[in-house]
Amino acid sequence: MEIKVLGSGCPSCMKLEKNVKEALKSLGKEAIVEKVTEYDDIASYGVMSTPALVVDGKVLFSGKVPNSKKLIEMLK
């Protein structure tokens, strides 16, 4: 599983990264969580608001920070 957190490094982006890692741990899954901070790279996904989450090349959401429970449902 390839996971990317798109964002500038703001507090919301850091919170999303933390929540993703907690969700993965709860699921017993291992994945590399990559941070993407360059504007051109973020824009290449068609994302206009951050933070955003990309799993295996697909944008799951942008502009919000779901809690760990919601992320567990998305990452199952």
Told to judge if 10 belongs to the known catalytic residues of this protein, a careful annotator would answer yes
Q: 20 is in which domain, residue-wise? A: 2-75
Dihedral angle sign, alpha carbons of residues 31, 5, 2, 20: positive
Mean pLDDT across the chain: 96
The model's pTM: 0.93
Q: What is d(CA 8, CA 50) in angstroms, rounded to the nearest whole number? A: 8
Q: What is d(CA 50, CA 2) in angstroms, rounded to the nearest whole number? A: 18
Please state the φ and ψ torsions of residue 53, each to the nearest 5 degrees.
Answer: -125, 130
Q: Any idea what the CATH number is for the domain that residue 18 is in?
A: 3.40.30.10
Residues 13, 23, 36, 72: which is the catalytic one? Answer: 13
| pLDDT (mean) for 28-47 | 95
* pLDDT of res. 6: 98
Our count of domains for the chain comes to 1
Told to judge if 35 belongs to the known catalytic residues of this protein, a careful annotator would answer no
Residues 1, 9, 10, 48: which is the catalytic one? Answer: 10
The 10 Å Cβ neighbour count of residue 70 is: 14
* pLDDT of res. 27: 97
* pLDDT of res. 11: 96
